[in-house]
Structure 1
Amino acid sequence: MTSQVLTPARSRLAASYRNLTLWTLQGWLAMFFIAAGYAKLSEPLATLIDLMRWPGLVAENMVRGLGVAEIVLAVLLLAPLVSWKHGRPLLVMAAGGLLALEVVMLGLHAAGLEGGLALTNLVLIAMTAPVLWMRAREVR
């Protein structure tokens, strides 16, 4: 096995690709959660219950509050666009919050035997975890 030393130019190129990949994931996550939050805020509760079982098991205010939380966390994923210095900690906090939310929702959807929604949460976890891990390393 040989070890390869990256030249400074190759190291910058790798960092550039990594940054582009993370921003792409952050953008997709933000779009998804803004749309999901907006649906939870604007759709009638009966429609949400038809789409997912869990809104029928909780108070309507909890469903609407979750929609607000999803939108806020999604916007915070993009906070470094405004200020890199102050936005990075907000981004890490938002990614951690979304990851926790996704894990809880994965459990709820799996317990409710909603396979498609559970799979969606698995994909979201697979997208959010690298963002959280790599961006948290940058903050230090």
Structure 2
Amino acid sequence: MTSQILTPARARLNASYRNLTLWTLQGWIAMFFVAAGYAKLSEPMANLIDLMRWPAFAPENLVRGLGVAEITLAALMLAPVVSWKHGRPLLVVAAAGLLALETVMLAIHATGMDVGPAITNAVLIAMTAPVLWMRSREAR
């Protein structure tokens, strides 16, 4: 096995690609959760029950509260745009919160046999986990 030593220019280029990839994922995650949170806040409960089964078993305040939480965490995913020094820890907290939310919702959708939402949550986990892992490593 050979080991490759990266030149400083190549290491900077790799770091730029990694940063661009993470920002792209963060943007997609934020857009998804702003839309999902807005739907939970603005749609009538009957529509939400038709779209997803679980709101039928949850109080309306819980569903609306999840909408607020999703929008808040989505905004915090983009906090480093305003201030890298103060926004990066908020990003890590938001990514951890969204990952926990996605994991719980994956379990709920999987046990309820909601295949589409379960796959969506699995994809969201696959997008959020690398963001959390890589951005938390940068924060050290």
TM over 0.5: yes
1:56 is the counterpart of 2:69:
no
Aligned residue type for 2:33: F
Which secondary structure does the structure 1 equivalent of 2:5 belong to? coil
Identical pairs, percent: 79
Instruction: Specify the alignment match of 1:36 in structure 2.
Output: 36
Hey, what does 2:13 align to over in structure 1?
Answer: 13
State the match for 2:95 in structure 1: 95
- Letter paired with 2:91: L
Structure 1 residue ranges, 4+ long, deviating more than 6 angstroms after superposition: none
For 1:136, give the aligned amino acid: S
Shift of 1:113: 0.2
Q: Which amino acid aligns with 1:116?
A: G
Counterparts of 1:89-128 in structure 2 under 5 Å?
89-128=89-128
Alpha-carbon shift at residue 42 of structure 1 (Å): 0.1
1:124 to partner: Cα distance = 0.1
| Number of residue pairs matched by the alignment | 140
How far off is 1:30 after superposition? 0.2
- Measured after TM superposition, the shift of residue 86 of structure 1 is 0.2
Secondary structure of 1:72's aligned partner: helix
**Which string of whole-angstrom CA distances, capped at 9 and with x for unpartnered residues, describes residues 41-69 of structure 1?**
00000000001011010100000000000
Displacement of 1:98: 0.1
User: What amino acid does structure 1 have at the position aligned with 2:27?
Assistant: G
Structure 1 residue 91: Cα displacement: 0.1
1:17 partner amino acid: Y
Letter in 1 for 2:63: V
Q: d(CA) in 1 for partners of 2:120 and 2:87?
A: 27
User: How far apart in 2 are the matches of 1:121 and 1:58?
Assistant: 19
Measure the CA separation in 1 of the matches of 2:28 and 2:117.
17
1:62-100 CA distances to partner (integer Å, 9 max, x unpaired)?
000000000000000000000000000000000000000
